[in-house]
Amino acid sequence: MAGDGAPATPAAFYKMLSVPDAVELILSETALLPAEEVPFAAAFQHTLAADVRAAEPVPGFRASIKDGYAVLSTDGPGEYDIAFEAFAGVAPRTLTPGTVAYIGTGGPLPEGADAVVQIEDTEFLGAAPGGPKRVRIKKQAAPGEDVRQVGSDMAAGEVVLQAGQHIGAAEVGILATVGATTVNVHRKPHVAVLSTGDEVCEPDAPKLELGQIRDANRAMLLAAAVGTGARATDLGIARDTAANVEAALDRTIAEGADVLLTTGGVSMGDKDFIKPLLERRGTVYFGKVKMKPGKPLTFAKVAVPERNRSLLVFGLPGNPVSSLVTFHLAVVPCLRKMEGWQEPRLRRVHVRTAMPIKMDPERPEYHRAVAHWARPEGAAEGVSSGELVAASTGGQISSRLLSLRSANVLLEIPQASGVLPAGSRVSALVLGDLGSMPVPEVPAPTVLP
């Protein structure tokens, strides 16, 4: 307003993109972060930047699969002297035909032996005074029986993990097994988060004045960024002046962040200091997205020539719901691409709606909902398909943060008039971990035709 009483409408000059077009544009401007070498255990939850090969075969020796006796299979069933015990760490010995050796699971098969007879197929006979211990072998072993051959789990030189593989706990184990104790992974993004607005207070403000609100966005977006695995820096609250916002941008660059998230100041009001700044310092790709909630979403890139890289800037709406929904839709795919995800887009599933949903004739809506696994209506016990049923979180006004409480999907409600009836099947974008969704009504264990 600043003096003329006429609201400026800079956002009106920016192109309005659809959400899918906006996401594709963001991804096309997002570069994979460079690889760095880290100790293998620190690679957990990162994405591999290079293939990992087994330098040695696993197992590196013929290993018993069972507790039992190492035998020469051609000796066959009968009573045998127990010549020795074959354990790791014990100097290797050779088995003489006509004798057997006790061996534990994982123990090294002695030279001369070619099979293991498990303990359940034997009978320990004890020792005659002064004589060796003896055992009755009750079963004819096939050559190689209950023996893991050298390299049977992993061959020397085999690619055991490919570039692009996400490193979970099992993959940490695979790295350890092959002795790959340093690995190349993509760096995780560093995200800086700034709130803007004269009306925004710290969450612990003792008392709010008229028109003031507690800052929900910053803590929420810091948590959301950390939740994706990113490193996050809190830039605080910038009061509404161009100098304050530019100072925050400069600090972001100085700290080496890859992504800046701002909230507020990107609506139609005249206090949008973000877009003019970004126009001056870089390129604004779009300033509006056709969606509900969250229309005023800005995406820009600021070159950081002294570091030979770019800073991506997302100007998210000030409404808490809009800011978190646009974070999921626009920022999460960007962060995933940076850290090496091969498919960085949000996962899409079909869900059955649990209640009628009013559609918006002007914009497609990303309707917050709680999906859970359930038996389809009318299906008999034991024939569940594990269908996802989604219940709306209630009133979807973009200020109502409770509409995001427990939400794990965004229903993609098309731009249309009328009401989508309960029981409709709609596509939905997955926000959280479907693995922790409320228990499905799937009987266990089940096999269905």
Name which of residues 236 to 295 contact a copy of itself (CB under 8 A).
Answer: 267-269, 271
- Residue 156 belongs to what H/E stretch? none
Task: Answer positive or negative: Cα dihedral of 273, 279, 283, 284.
Answer: positive
420 binds a copy of itself (CB under 8 A): yes
Q: Which of 128, 131, 170, 381 binds a copy of itself (CB under 8 A)?
A: 170
Q: How far is the CB of 27 from a copy of itself (least distance, A)?
A: 14
**Out of 75, 171, 258, 339, which residue is the one contacting a copy of itself (CB under 8 A)?**
171
Cα 202–Cα 206–Cα 207 angle in degrees, nearest 5: 95
Rounded distance between C-alpha atoms, residue 234 and residue 248, angstroms: 10
DSSP 8-state code for residue 208: P
Give the integer Cα–Cα distance in Å for 125 and 128: 9
Q: Is-contact 273 240, C-beta < 8 A?
A: yes
Query: Which residue lies nearer to a copy of itself by CB, 61 or 73?
Result: 61
Segment near a copy of itself (CB under 8 A); pick from 27-35, 208-216, 243-251, 253-261: 208-216
Residue 399 CB, nearest distance to a copy of itself (Å)? 5
Amino acid at the residue 335:
L
* Contacting residue, 222, 238, 316, 330, with a copy of itself by CB under 8 A: 222
Question: Per rule CB under 8 A, is residue 24 in the interface with a copy of itself?
Answer: no
Residue 281 or 292: the one with the smaller Cβ distance to a copy of itself is 292
Are 322 and 219 in contact by the 8 Å Cβ rule? The answer is: no
In the three-class reduction of DSSP (H, G, I as helix; E, B as strand; rest coil), residue 411 is classed as strand
- Strands (DSSP E) along 317-386, which ranges? 348-353, 357-358, 365-374
Residue closer to a copy of itself, measured from CB, 63 or 113: 63
Q: Which of 17, 220, 335, 369 binds a copy of itself (CB under 8 A)?
A: 220
Q: Which of 9, 74, 96, 241 binds a copy of itself (CB under 8 A)?
A: 9
Element containing residue 275 per DSSP (H, E): helix 274-281
Binding mask 38-77 for a copy of itself (x = CB under 8 A): --xx--xx----------x--xxx-x-x-x----------
- Output the smallest distance, CB 247 to a copy of itself, in A: 20
Side chain identity at residue 58, one-letter code: V
Site for a copy of itself in 344-383 (CB under 8 A): 345-350, 364, 373
Nearest-angstrom CA–CA distance, 236 and 11: 25
Any contact of residue 128 with a copy of itself (CB under 8 A)?
no
Q: Smallest distance, Å, CB 324 to a copy of itself?
A: 6
Terminal-to-terminal C-alpha distance of the chain: 68
Question: Among 4, 306, 377, 381, which residue interacts with a copy of itself (rule: CB under 8 A)?
Answer: 4
Cβ(394)–Cβ(374) under 8 Å? no
Q: Which lies closer to a copy of itself via its Cβ, residue 79 or residue 250?
A: 79
**Prior bond to 443 cis, omega within 30?**
no
* CA 246, chain centre distance (Å): 33
Amino acid at 127: A
Q: Quick one: which segment of 27-35, 137-145, 281-289, 393-401 binds a copy of itself (CB under 8 A)?
A: 393-401
Give yes or no for a contact between 409 and 429, defined as CB atoms under 8 angstroms apart: yes
Say whether residue 136 binds a copy of itself (CB under 8 A).
no
Using CB under 8 A as the binding rule, whether residue 387 contacts a copy of itself is answered as: yes
Calculated CA dihedral for residues 99, 105, 109, 115, nearest 10 degrees: 60
Tokens 């534990």 belong to which residue? 104
- Rounded least distance, CB 293 to a copy of itself, Å: 11
Find the binder of a copy of itself among 20, 143, 236, 356 (CB under 8 A).
Answer: 20
Q: Kindly state whether residue 181 participates in binding a copy of itself, applying the rule CB under 8 A.
A: yes
Within 295-324, the residues that bind a copy of itself by CB under 8 A are 318-320, 324
Give residues 79-118 in contact with a copy of itself (rule: CB under 8 A): 82, 85-90, 92, 102, 104-108
Please identify, among the stretches 70-78, 137-145, 273-281, 435-443, the one whose residues bind a copy of itself according to the rule CB under 8 A: 435-443
d(CA 274, CA 10): 11
